[in-house]
Amino acid sequence: MTLIALLWCIAAWLGLSVFAVVVARTAIVGTIVYAACLAIGMLGLSAGLEHLIAATAPAETIILPLGLPWLGANFRLDNLSAFFVLVVDLGAATASLYALGYGRHESEQHRVLPFYPAFLAAMNLVVLADDAFTFLVSWELMSLVSWALVVAHHHDRENIRAGYVYLLMASFGTVALLLAFGLLAGPEGSYAFAELRLHPPSETLAAAVLALTIVGTGSKAGLIPLHVWLPLAHPAAPSHVSALMSGVMTKVAVYAFIRIVFTFLGPPQWWWALPVLIAGAASAVIGVLYALNQSDLKKLLAYSTIDNIGVIFIGLGLALAFQTNALGAAAALAMAAALLHVFNHALFKSLLFFGAGAVLTSTGERNLERLGGLIHTMPVTAFLFLLASMAICALPPLNGFVSEWLTFQAVLISPQLPQWSLRLIVPAVGAMLALAAALTAACFVKAFGFAFLGRPRSDVAKRAVETDTFSLAGMFSLGALCLFIGILPGFVIDRLAPVTQFLLSARLPVQADVPWLSIIPISEGRSSYNGLLVFLFILISSLGAVLVIHTFASRKVRRSAAWDCGFPDPRPVTQYSADSFVQPLRRVYGTLVFLAREKVQMPTPGEMSPARFTVTMQDLAWRLIYSPIVHAVEFSAERLNVLQFMTIRRYLALVFSALIFLLIVLASWT
């Protein structure tokens, strides 16, 4: 029943797309489309939630007479897909709510509206697909529709380039997945997932499928070094779509990874965890280092998505490592941490993008160097943005802390692993994770501090006004969820149990039985966390501190001429700038990772020109991987140009020699 409801939701979204194509240019249609998307999203959300809460609900399957005639379009709702339906539709509902307000400021409405519902439908389709054909078609639909949304503002040359790079990388990823499914299906060509589950491939074949899956899903999720398109494409789309792409679409890629690796490949080999862990750790650290060096707010958020995907993949890698060694409870812990982080990241990354969108509509600026002081003009947005920043920095009592804490708990079990290489590498990965968490904190101090604190750095920042009610409602619902999960994590962890049960046949201890609303991932003697207690402690101690300060410290209000405090020049340019903030970190890490070089040009004495300070940075992934490929393609294309201008006789000679060559091959074939 639930599956049928979900399929009707998808059909309704697709119908809405067609409707929007027809009437996209009328003013009211934006409100209609987003309101309908919101309603359908809520419906899908409740359907997914219902299946997940009814923990023993059996998997539902439906075969529709579409697609390949001998296969049909298979759909299936099991615990894993129900969880991801929940993530996708929660994102869809809040983004639609936000867009009810945000969409009114959209200048290219007719380029956004027709694709938006189709994008939501495609993500749902991927999660529900139960055969390789339906899966790949939905996957491509998702890529294409999101591409259309990326290039919605196509007058901007940057966006066109972003769309081009995105399209190339998306096709590359799909080819990898296509080959992976081809290998899985084998010579009989059994593409239904039900059959793939029953016949796991041989050991070498499974390794090849694993490699292709990491490449295929990693290119969508943004694993380094397949991330190059992500920081270009995500910020280029309208903000509610950016939120969906960053918060939700990358999670669909994570779903594809889990689906293929954990349910089709049979029992894992111990070394499978290695590439996943290494890719995850590299993405976590390098992603956040990139983010730190951005002064474009939306780009910063996009890079931080790479970081969080890295955290998720670390959890998945740990789950693989524990599962190989039959450490069921530990595997369930790592998997639950990864899944919870999937959910959390969808929440706070969407919220952050909504906040960036609110700032963008209010000021027209994404550059941190031209923002500032918005906490006075946009107080609610500032508060919610701060909340999400704290969540992404993994500060208690918010949700980000819970999932990263669980991941660390899983890291700490690693001495139980029998393989030495894993025992050595997992603590290193843990250290990288800690480094990434610390750098994330620095990154969001920068994002929040320079956008909302200080004095306005430009006139537009000074004239900013608070955003509209719908946008605030969308952001508020996400913020409330962040806080709720942070305070009562046990409730959510129990809801994840059916998923880990389905994937690993193991689960975490039931958290509802733990007194005082604590969570205990392994055993009471080992570790426990109580979000509510931390929340109450922070609340009471900070209220107390405020009370004390205001009654005793600032009782005597003195008014006097401001001591300039090294601030004699009232112009805002004298403030500490976002770029200055990251300079120390850039000097420590950037010199190695980005080949960052700083150059100071001092004018000679007597010269009137200003001194100049320039920083150059390089993306090593571009330099070492992508540029050589581009050069090779260009070189061969240049060489093959000759083929275009030949005489008829030479063309015939070409055909003739090809024929002779093939005949010789045929003759010498034994």
Partner 1 sequence: MRHDLFFDVAHLLAGGLVLMSFLMLYQDRLYALINVFAGHAIVLTLSVAWQAYVQDAPHLYVTAFIALGFKAIIIPIALHRIVERLGIHREIETVLNIGLTMLGGIGLVALSVVVMLRVAPGGDPLAREDLAFALSVVLLGLLMMVSRRNAVSQVIGFMSLENGLILAATGAKGMPLVVEISVAFSVLIAFIVIGIFLFRIRERFDTVDIQALDSFRGEIE
Residues that bind partner 1 (CB under 8 A): 645, 647-649, 652-653, 655-656, 659-660, 663-664, 666-667, 669
If the CB atoms of residues 510 and 664 are measured against partner 1, the closer one turns out to be 664
In the complex, minimum distance from the CB of residue 640 to partner 1, in angstroms, rounded to a whole number: 17
Alpha-carbon distances of 521 from 308, 329, 354, 667, rounded to whole Å: 21, 9, 33, 67
Least Cα distance to 391 among 380, 402, 381, 382 occurs for 402
If the CB atoms of residues 588 and 654 are measured against partner 1, the closer one turns out to be 654
Residue type, 340: L
Burial of 544 (0-12, 13-18, 19+ CB in 10 A): exposed
Report the run of H or E that residue 612 belongs to, with start and end. strand 612-616
In the complex, minimum distance from the CB of residue 637 to partner 1, in angstroms, rounded to a whole number: 20
If the CB atoms of residues 627 and 657 are measured against partner 1, the closer one turns out to be 657
If the CB atoms of residues 536 and 658 are measured against partner 1, the closer one turns out to be 658
If the CB atoms of residues 608 and 667 are measured against partner 1, the closer one turns out to be 667
Least Cα distance to 203 among 282, 105, 271 occurs for 271
In the complex, minimum distance from the CB of residue 643 to partner 1, in angstroms, rounded to a whole number: 13
In the complex, minimum distance from the CB of residue 666 to partner 1, in angstroms, rounded to a whole number: 5
**From CA 38, how far away is CA 58, in angstroms rounded?**
28
**From CA 288, how far away is CA 432, in angstroms rounded?**
11
If the CB atoms of residues 107 and 657 are measured against partner 1, the closer one turns out to be 657
Report the run of H or E that residue 615 belongs to, with start and end. strand 612-616
If the CB atoms of residues 565 and 666 are measured against partner 1, the closer one turns out to be 666
Q: Are 440 and 392 in contact (CB under 8 A)?
A: yes
Least Cα distance to 302 among 233, 240, 362, 365 occurs for 233
If the CB atoms of residues 512 and 663 are measured against partner 1, the closer one turns out to be 663
Least Cα distance to 487 among 398, 367, 356 occurs for 398
In the complex, minimum distance from the CB of residue 665 to partner 1, in angstroms, rounded to a whole number: 10
Alpha-carbon distances of 419 from 160, 271, 319, rounded to whole Å: 48, 9, 15
Residue type, 390: M
If the CB atoms of residues 571 and 649 are measured against partner 1, the closer one turns out to be 649
Residue listed under structure tokens 């250290």: 431
In the complex, minimum distance from the CB of residue 635 to partner 1, in angstroms, rounded to a whole number: 23
In the complex, minimum distance from the CB of residue 650 to partner 1, in angstroms, rounded to a whole number: 9
Strand ranges inside 93-157, DSSP E? none
**From CA 148, how far away is CA 112, in angstroms rounded?**
8
**From CA 248, how far away is CA 244, in angstroms rounded?**
5
If the CB atoms of residues 54 and 652 are measured against partner 1, the closer one turns out to be 652
Report the run of H or E that residue 74 belongs to, with start and end. strand 73-77
In the complex, minimum distance from the CB of residue 651 to partner 1, in angstroms, rounded to a whole number: 10
**From CA 514, how far away is CA 509, in angstroms rounded?**
9
The region that residue 663 occupies, defined by phi over 0 for left and psi between -120 and 50 for alpha, beta otherwise, is alpha
If the CB atoms of residues 516 and 645 are measured against partner 1, the closer one turns out to be 645
Q: Are strands 60-64 and 597-601 parallel, antiparallel or unpaired?
A: unpaired
In the complex, minimum distance from the CB of residue 662 to partner 1, in angstroms, rounded to a whole number: 10
If the CB atoms of residues 600 and 666 are measured against partner 1, the closer one turns out to be 666
If the CB atoms of residues 27 and 666 are measured against partner 1, the closer one turns out to be 666
Residue type, 321: A
Judged by DSSP in three states, 614 sits in: strand
Chain centre distance of CA 288? 13
Please calculate the CA angle 218-221-226 and round it to the nearest 5 degrees: 50
**From CA 223, how far away is CA 220, in angstroms rounded?**
8
In the complex, minimum distance from the CB of residue 660 to partner 1, in angstroms, rounded to a whole number: 7
**From CA 451, how far away is CA 444, in angstroms rounded?**
10
In the complex, minimum distance from the CB of residue 668 to partner 1, in angstroms, rounded to a whole number: 8
If the CB atoms of residues 556 and 639 are measured against partner 1, the closer one turns out to be 639
In the complex, minimum distance from the CB of residue 642 to partner 1, in angstroms, rounded to a whole number: 11
In the complex, minimum distance from the CB of residue 652 to partner 1, in angstroms, rounded to a whole number: 5
Residue type, 588: V
In the complex, minimum distance from the CB of residue 655 to partner 1, in angstroms, rounded to a whole number: 8
